[in-house]
Amino acid sequence: MSKLKITETSLRDGHQSLIATRLTTDEILPILKKMDDAGFHSMEVWGGATFDACLRYLNEDPWERLRKIRANVKNTKLQMLSRGQNILGYKNYPDDIVEKFLKNAIYEGIDIVRIFDALNDIRNLQKSISVIKKEGAHCQCAICYTISPVHTIEYYLKLIKEFESEGADSICIKDMSGILLPYEAYNLVKSIKETTKLPVEFHTHCTSGVAQMSMLKAVEAGVDIVDTAISPLSSGTSQPATESLALSLIGTERDPQLNLDSLNAAADYFKDVMKKYMDSGSYNIKVLMTEPKTLQYQIPGGMLSNMIMQMTSLNALDKYEDVLAEVPRVREDLGFPPLVTPMSQMVGAQAVFNVISGGRYKIIPTEIKNYVKGMYGRPTAPISENIREKIIGDEEIITVRPADLLPDEYEKLKAEIGELARTEQDVLSYALFPQVAKEYFEKRSTEIEDIYDELYI
Ligand code: CO
């Protein structure tokens, strides 16, 4: 076995997991050159929630952030996370938006695009795969790892074969809830390595307390790349610490051979940054608390805390245990969707309604109806006749790729946002987050007017 490769996640998943994606570009830039010297395989710096957070909370242009990061990172590949046909948003976008978005991201310096679909429906990834390949970037297809009677090793291997035949350049095991146990990780990686020659990467979260153990077992089973975060942005709901893993493997054939001086410099830098967030209260000790219940209920940590919040606001916290028991039943009714965005929110909300409204499926959110209609893709297991009827009556189920029903939208959106958008990238920001992007553009125009006024008074 050869040297283990490391994807550094601090600048995307690390701060997304610990401080709700609040690192600013100004906080990121000063340490990039040091990180670039560390010898990482790649740095995940964009996508996921970073795009939304830039526009919504930081008054920043996410495209500008990517350009600035690229200008400072010369040796290391830059990686982003995209939700397939949902790109960085929460619904399916038409193909022209997916195409233009990925094209621009790759043009601005993204080398590796990791794509996944919440339902593991390959049809929701096909457009992204073909664009990423055409633009000359590396296309990594991720399986959303979940546990259910239908999510067997055979199921995952079949999915990986599909990824391979669609043109994937590598495979990722994406364990978003941190529920992949050490020996399961070993078996899964081993089986995948026997099935495909493509490089395999392991992504997990420390939420339940097993991530470091599972990562080591994955390394022993021959995983090619693992995702870790520099120590001050690691652990808790984030990834295992980069330095600790690197130090653990010194003297073995899997030693990732990272530059420890660079890692230490980055750690010292981020300790100060994170202290600021701790002092201001944005970095809450709660995200660092190990939550083994995640393993028991197989419910992601974020979903647990969301449901507690909903139950509290509905004054029904006494029914929390009932809701916890209802989640797996709803999941089974709906064909065992993986509990990842947006399915985790949808299943959680339906479970809450089923418990507090005095009857199962008395209240059904539109999203759940659309899901049953096939608008999100194909459920892993078929939905029973009975449940289908309860949720959508005799309405028809679509069998085509959901995005086939969406007409191209770019030109329409471009006209709609008008002069507020200055570039194609602005129009794409608007396509993904209409309200938020518009507000950002408006603020930006007033700021420029202010500068103009100052200059010419
Ligand atoms: Co993650």
- Residue with more model confidence, 101 or 296: 101
Q: Return the SS3 of 209.
A: coil
What pLDDT shows up at residue 452? 66
In one letter, which amino acid is 339? L
pLDDT digits (tens, 9 = 90+) for 50-92: 999 999 999 999 999 999 999 999 999 999 999 999 999 988 9
| CATH number, position 79 | 3.20.20.70
Tokens of 189: 């990686």
| 69 CA from centroid of ligand 1 (Å) | 21
Q: Say yes or no: 390 and 422 in one domain.
A: no
Q: Are residues 341 and 198 located together in one domain of the fold? A: no
pLDDT-wise least confident of 24-28, 237-241, 299-303, 449-453: 449-453
Beta-bridged to residue 203, according to DSSP, are 174
Ligand 1 centroid from CA 81, angstroms:
9
Q: Is residue 182 part of a domain?
A: yes
Please name the residues in contact with 313: beta carbons below 8 A apart, sequence gap of 6 or more.
none
Q: Are residues 267 and 304 in the same domain?
A: no
CA of 397 to the centre of ligand 1 (A): 32
**Is the residue at 291 inside a domain?**
no
Quote the strand ranges of 29-136, DSSP E: 42-47, 77-82, 112-115
186 lies in the same domain as 260: yes
In terms of domains, do 224 and 327 share one? no
Residues 423 and 379 in one domain: no
Give the C-alpha separation, 129 to 86, whole Å: 13
Tens digit of each residue's pLDDT (9 = 90 or more) over 164-209: 999 999 999 999 999 999 999 999 999 999 999 999 999 999 999 9
CA distance 126 to 157: 18
Whether residues 253 and 175 fall in one domain: yes
- What's 287's DSSP letter? G
Q: Residue 99 belongs to what domain range?
A: 5-280
Which amino acid would we find at residue 181?
A: L
Contact partners, residue 354, CB within 8 Å, separation at least 6: 326, 329, 330, 360, 361, 362
Rounded distance from Cα 174 to ligand 1 centre (Å): 7
Q: Are 38 and 8 in contact (CB under 8 A)?
A: yes
Q: What is the pLDDT of residue 185?
A: 98
Q: Across residues 352-373, what is the average pLDDT?
A: 95
CA distances from 424 to 27, 212, 410, 414, 447 (A): 27, 42, 9, 8, 21
**44 C-alpha to ligand 1 centroid (Å):** 11
CA 454 / ligand 1 centre spacing (Å): 45
Q: What is the pLDDT of residue 174?
A: 97
For residue 42, how far is its CA from the centre of ligand 1 (angstroms)? 15
What pLDDT does 455 receive?
67
Answer whether 66's CB lies under 8 Å from 105's CB: yes
Alpha carbon of 176 to ligand 1 centroid (Å): 5
CA of 416 from ligand 1 middle (Å) equals 34
- CA of 13 relative to ligand 1 center, distance in Å: 6
Q: Give the Å distance between the CA of 262 and the centre of ligand 1.
A: 24
Q: What angle do CA 435, 441, 444 make, to 5 degrees?
A: 140
Residue 457: pLDDT over 70? no
Q: Summarize pLDDT for 402-445 with one digit per residue, the tens.
A: 999 999 999 999 999 999 999 999 999 999 999 999 999 999 98
C-alpha of 375 from chain center: 20
- Which pair of tokens denotes residue 444? 């930006």
Beta carbons within 8 Å of 321's beta carbon, 6+ residues apart: none
Instruction: Tell me what percent of the chain is helix, strand and coil, each rounded to the nearest 5.
Output: 55, 10, 35
Integer Cα distance of 74 and 116 in angstroms: 27
Phi/psi at 157 (5° precision): -65, -35
pLDDT at 302: 73
Residue 293 lies in a domain: no
Final residue before a domain boundary, out of 403, 422, 447 = 403
How many angstroms is it from 105 CA to the middle of ligand 1? 20
Each residue's pLDDT tens digit, 309-344: 888 888 998 999 999 999 999 999 999 999 988 899
CA of 12 to the centre of ligand 1 (A): 9
Asked whether 234 and 6 are in contact (CB, 8 A), the reply is no
Residue type, 55: L
Residue 122 confidence class, pLDDT cut points 50, 70, 90: very high
* Residues 381, 334: Cα–Cα separation, whole Å: 8
Domain membership flag for residue 252: yes
CA of 191 to the centre of ligand 1 (A): 22
- pLDDT at site 120: 96
Residue 290 resides in a domain: no
Question: Tokens in use for 300?
Answer: 């992601």
Query: How far, in Å, is the centroid of ligand 1 from the Cα of 231?
Result: 16
Which of 234, 274, 260 minimizes the C-alpha distance to 40? Answer: 260
Is pLDDT at 210 greater than 60 in this prediction? yes
16 CA distance to ligand 1 middle (Å): 9
> Cα of 224 to ligand 1 centre, how many Å?
18
Q: Are 359 and 326 in contact (CB under 8 A)?
A: no
Work out how many domains the chain is built from and give that number: 3
Whether residue 422 sits in one domain with residue 398: no
In DSSP terms, 201 is beta-bridged to 172, 225
> Do the domain assignments include residue 289?
no
d(CA 231, CA 238): 10
Q: Are residues 379 and 422 in the same domain?
A: no
CATH assignment of the domain containing 311? 1.10.472.90
Helix, strand, or coil (residue 281): coil
202 with 236, same domain: the answer is: yes
Task: Work out the end-to-end distance of the chain between its first and last CA atoms, rounded to an integer number of angstroms.
Answer: 68
Calculate how far, in angstroms, residue 205's C-alpha sits from the geometric centre of ligand 1. Answer: 6
- Between the alpha carbon of residue 27 and those of residues 32, 266, 274, the distances in Å are 10, 12, 10
pLDDT value of position 199 = 98
Which of 129-138, 313-322, 330-339, 361-370 is least confident? 313-322
Is pTM beyond 0.85? Reply is yes
Please give the structure tokens belonging to residue 430: 């608007």
Q: What is the pLDDT of residue 311?
A: 87
pLDDT over 80 at 453, yes or no: no
- Looking at the structure, tell me whether residues 118 and 184 fall in a common domain: yes
Residues 253 and 367 in one domain: no
Distance, CA of 63 to CA of 316 (rounded, Å): 42
Spacing, Cα 227 to ligand 1 middle (Å): 9
From the CA of 368, how far away is ligand 1's center (Å)? 24
| Cβ-Cβ contacts under 8 Å for 445 (sequence gap 6 or more) | 420
368 within domain boundaries = yes
**Is residue 46 assigned to a domain?**
yes
